[in-house]
Structure 1
Amino acid sequence: MINSDYSIDDLHFTTRSIDGGNTIIFNKQMIFSIIYIIKGEGKYQVQHNTISYGSNDIFIVVPGEEFQVIQTTSDTEILEIKFSDLFINQKKQFDTDRSDRTHILYSANQNLDYIVNIKNNIILAHQIANCLLSEIREANIVDGEYLKHLVYMILLFLEKEIKKLLPSIAGLTIEQKVIKMLQYIHLNIFEPKKLTIQELSDKFFISPTYIGKYFKSHTNHNLHHYILQYKLNLIQYRLKNSNMRVSEIADEFGFSDKSYLNKIFLKYTGISPSQYRINSKNKNFLSNIS
């Protein structure tokens, strides 16, 4: 049930109350949504990634994903803030590295741990979200710039925590074509055939003999290594946060079989996927009992 609705320029605010046991589906939407959990508990699921949510959690729904779902286990109230990437790119406050910021926000779904990090470390983010909520619940809203400023601040917190979980992009400012390449890689990481040199060359109109050099000159990363490292980061997340078998993970990420995934994982991490899973669970156990 929608409780209230308010729009100003490029922003659209909605508060909703959802009974426990129900589902909200964000089906390949073309805009961003910041979700602030006012109260309630449940799960947020993107593809195979699932994380529990609770009161005061903040996360972002990104454009283009096939499957993003909120499943409520108790009565839940949310504040949803919708906006397009134009909202980010047209504002002076975002002039510095704004293309980088768009890319980082598009990458949010690859590792949902940023939600936990914000909840545990950034109390100010919750306070700002509550200020937003108070403002839009007022009968007469006259200071639209103040609302925009609050949304900017939440985006900066989201960017900071999401960026910590991404492969580093050091050095040069990234031009728009490279941003598109990074987004394409992230969205197609489960389909290796779309990430061959020839496919990337055809997609972005760059010679196959030059595309690797082009990518490295703008990101300081080898193209093949970036794709592999990004894939391994996601595999580590699967091993820590899902019950999928190693063979299922190998199949999901396009490895020919479990043994090849074992070989690659061992080469880059020093341990097997199974041992990595055991170690991560032991660390969680130790952190829980300490």
Structure 2
Amino acid sequence: MSQRFYITKNLDVLQFEAANEWGYSRHKHNFFELTYILKGSGQHLLNESAIDYKKGDLFFLTPKDEHEFVVDEPTTFGIIKFTEQLFLEKANLTSSTHWRKNLDTVILHANNIPKSIISYDVDRIQLFYLYELIKNEIDNPLVYGRDVLLNLFGALLVVVSRNLKSNLIKIEERYNSEKEKIDSILTYIRQNVLDKELIKIKSIAETFYMSPNYVSIFIKKHAGISIQQYVLKTKIEMAARLLKQTNLNISEIADKTGFLDSSHFNKIFKKYTSHNPSAFRWLI
């Protein structure tokens, strides 16, 4: 069971450098969090997804999310933590309904976006600049500081919301259902079946924004077959076409379809088709 972290302030900023390790176990929060990557690279494990991170990325986390970072190169993290109460406080100071819509967008949809939320490059500069302004205002409080913070925070959330919505549209356009997603994954495997690196679970996970641990479960659940079985099935189907449509010998076909040798190919082909390759070639 993961830990849950808490804050007592409704807005706070934390900045630190992680040389080798992030320093926290996998956890959830009772607050919202914007995590800026100011320097470095590594992996962000968020819910069921594993995403590479680099300088200039920005991640959004809700109280529903569970995450941790794996540091590859020394990383400087900048974190803005805030509570739902801060949204409400900002909303109470304006007659606009825009803040309520922002609140709904964040609470209901943000945790569907595992990657960096920045969709527009031009917004990257503004988002990082607003981070520095908010951090400076908290570190050096002056008169009217609370008003300044609320307005800076308001600007930040408008820009965040714009990028969240853009990402949501892209995700919704890409997959209308889990069937479409599994079809896309299986198509990807078929297209790259002869490239051992591209069909590794890690590569599939990175391509489809999934956790490596969840890829196999997802494919088995929706396709009724394991990744290894699907890869073999695809290779056998490819070999069957080559047997019927070319004059390549058994050894050449075994090599072209990625089997160790003709003996291994014969064994697997017979297991899946009940025929030796040479006999299958002459079947009507």
Q: Which category describes the TM-score, using the shorter chain as reference length?
A: 0.5 to 0.7
Note if contact 2:45-2:67 (Cα within 8 Å) is conserved in structure 1: yes
In the TM superposition, residue 246 of structure 1 has moved relative to its aligned partner by: 7.2
In the TM superposition, residue 105 of structure 1 has moved relative to its aligned partner by: 1.5
Aligned to 2:106: 105
Unmatched 5+ stretches in structure 2 = 1-6, 186-204, 227-284
Note if contact 1:58-1:119 (Cα within 8 Å) is conserved in structure 2: no
Q: Cα distance 1:73–1:246, how it changes in 2: closer, same or farther (>3 A)?
A: closer
1:115 paired with 2:114, answer no
Note if contact 2:45-2:211 (Cα within 8 Å) is conserved in structure 1: no
Distance 2:100 2:46 in 1: 24
Distance 2:181 2:99 in 1: 25
Aligned to 1:229: 176
Aligned to 1:124: 126
Q: Cα distance 1:131–1:24, how it changes in 2: closer, same or farther (>3 A)?
A: same
Deviation by residue 1:240-273 (Cα, 9 ceiling, x = unmatched): 345969764244xx537359xxxxxxxxxxxxxx
Aligned to 1:64: 64
Q: Cα distance 1:26–1:247, how it changes in 2: closer, same or farther (>3 A)?
A: closer
Q: AA paired with 1:54?
A: K
Q: AA paired with 1:249?
A: F
Determine which of 147, 154, 157 is the counterpart of 1:155: 157
State the secondary structure of the residue aligned to 1:115.
coil
Deviation by residue 1:117-161 (Cα, 9 ceiling, x = unmatched): 2556532212222222333343x4441221222222222222111
State the secondary structure of the residue aligned to 2:168.
coil
5 Å matches for 1:1-290? 10-25=10-25, 27-65=27-65, 67-92=66-91, 93=94, 95-106=96-107, 107-118=109-120, 121-138=123-140, 140-142=141-143, 143-166=145-168, 229=176, 231=178, 240-241=208-209, 248-251=217-220, 255=222, 257=224
TM-score, with structure 1 as normaliser: 0.53
Q: AA paired with 2:218?
A: I
State the secondary structure of the residue aligned to 1:17.
strand
Q: Cα distance 1:23–1:44, how it changes in 2: closer, same or farther (>3 A)?
A: farther
In the TM superposition, residue 41 of structure 1 has moved relative to its aligned partner by: 2.1
In the TM superposition, residue 166 of structure 1 has moved relative to its aligned partner by: 2.5
Distance 2:23 2:95 in 1: 34
Unmatched 5+ stretches in structure 1 = 1-6, 169-224, 260-290
Distance 1:233 1:90 in 2: 41
Aligned length: 192
Q: AA paired with 1:62?
A: T
Q: AA paired with 2:154?
A: Y
Distance 1:98 1:137 in 2: 26
TM-score, with structure 2 as normaliser: 0.54
